[in-house]
Structure 1
């Protein structure tokens, strides 16, 4: 089960080496690997998925990171859009469903179509759809644009990533579909951690919230320091809250909530750390 953390091709090529890592000099009666062995194998698998064994690991990091970032930011936009649509219907929108569809539904449907095309590997179709998801809904109804909502910003941020991905070098493989979906799900889970800002709440609730934030961030960093594509993939998603706050409330409210802090600097730092550390490892290996 632990060896499945590695890609199938890597397992076929280095099966004996991986088995030796597990067995080593331990007695043959041992049935379970130690926690240290298990963590080492999982991190090793994450590094391989991140391109550490590729001929050009930095190129794999950047190009696959762009693809994963486009998927993640589109998926987050779709999630926010669907949540807002459900909330609108709960608070009276059911009386005028066409109005809800025009203001919010069309953009969400187009963003879903772009995301599906991207997951399916139809990058050119995804590029057309993601641009369409910005332009067409805004022409039909400026509601999302005028309010600067995150679901409107999602395809705006994703569009240059998808278009840039069309020029991916031939020697850089695309991110495997199952792996890309897993990365996207992990980034969405990170954003679902309940951070509601500095609002009055019982002490017990605050402690639970803080504990969940610490655990969630720790798990993400543990994974992302091994598969550093996540540092690039999560960067675009960090911009949505800030773009919404800048467009809707202005800079004066940015410090009132943790999730509204300017995240551009954090995103840049994460990308720089991923690229520099990958290049250093590549140089050391050479």
Structure 2
């Protein structure tokens, strides 16, 4: 009886795997996990549960695909475009709320002209990309950079991250149109989850590290370490995240560079470089490690 309960709980964990993979491998995995010997265990061990979840992440990330490097690259850039647009929409929405809180209600048309039009077009590009309308999303991403700027140069002149979002995402969306036929598109539900995870990474309250009081700084440091550790635990299994997070990190760097003035002033702004360096390193690590695993498997 306990073996039946244990098998049922293993199968619940296996639901993290794609349906096709479960159909082919679920019984084999269950036999390996339970074994032939009778057992009184009713729960998988924590180590087994973590291994199964990481295995599911690897499969979602293309680790079991015939061409894992191609899946990593093409699905990674698609997810990166999604994440960049989603982050731009999130930042833009936050700025609009703040604008209305600090006097925007007295002149809502100005807020709409300066920020609202961009938010609407950018949101439309995001929805189109999630829906799989890649060509429509590409057109809307270009429009999100051009049309609102023609109506009002507010976002462009201030170099705000939400203005950079379609500028970064549009080339990725256009490049995604050349995805090889043998590389499957990222499943919609999985793409939304990956995008949510990247947004969660950007919502970590790192600004608390600059507070004067020790207690808030300690709390912020703990949250930053925990959030980054959780993200890396997932991203080292599903390495598409290491590609997809790059465009979102570039948004902050481009915003900082745009406000740094002359190029030589960048050397006096150490805060403008880490995101770019981390982004490049993560992309290199993801591609190299996936290629090495592919060679080992071959």
Task: Output the TM-score relative to the length of structure 2.
Answer: 0.92
Mapping 1:102-141, distance limit 5 Å: 102-141=113-152
Selected match of 2:277 from 227, 251, 265: 265
What is the match of residue 209 of structure 1? 220
Mapping 1:125-204, distance limit 5 Å: 125-196=136-207, 199-204=210-215
What is the match of residue 5 of structure 2? none
What is the match of residue 9 of structure 1? 20
What is the match of residue 23 of structure 1? 34
- Cα deviation for residue 26 of structure 1 reads 6.0
1:131-176 deviations in Å (ceiling 9; x for gaps) = 1100100111000000000000011000110000000000000000
Q: CA RMSD in A?
A: 1.4
Question: Contact (CA 8 Å) 1:254, 1:262: kept in 2 or not?
Answer: no
Question: Contact (CA 8 Å) 2:92, 2:115: kept in 1 or not?
Answer: yes
What is the match of residue 76 of structure 2? 65
- Cα deviation for residue 29 of structure 1 reads 2.4
What is the match of residue 46 of structure 1? 57
1:41-92 deviations in Å (ceiling 9; x for gaps) = 0010000001011111100000000000000011001000000000000000
For 1:21 and 1:210, the matched residues in 2 are separated by: 41
Instruction: State which structure, 1 or 2, has the greater radius of gyration over its C-alpha atoms.
Output: 2
Q: Equivalent residue of 1:14, what SS?
A: helix
What is the match of residue 281 of structure 1? 293
For 2:277 and 2:267, the matched residues in 1 are separated by: 18
What is the match of residue 91 of structure 1? 102
Structure 2 unmatched runs, 5+: 1-11
Question: Contact (CA 8 Å) 1:245, 1:253: kept in 2 or not?
Answer: no
- Cα deviation for residue 25 of structure 1 reads 5.1
Question: Contact (CA 8 Å) 2:159, 2:259: kept in 1 or not?
Answer: yes
Q: Equivalent residue of 1:86, what SS?
A: helix
What is the match of residue 236 of structure 2? 225
1:77-116 deviations in Å (ceiling 9; x for gaps) = 1000000000000000011111000000111111100000
How many residues are aligned here? 283
What is the match of residue 269 of structure 2? 254
Question: Contact (CA 8 Å) 2:204, 2:227: kept in 1 or not?
Answer: yes
Question: Is 1:243 the counterpart of 2:258 in the alignment?
Answer: no
For 2:207 and 2:195, the matched residues in 1 are separated by: 22
Selected match of 1:55 from 49, 66, 70: 66
Structure 1 unmatched runs, 5+: none
- Cα deviation for residue 254 of structure 1 reads 3.0
For 2:134 and 2:118, the matched residues in 1 are separated by: 19
For 1:105 and 1:253, the matched residues in 2 are separated by: 34
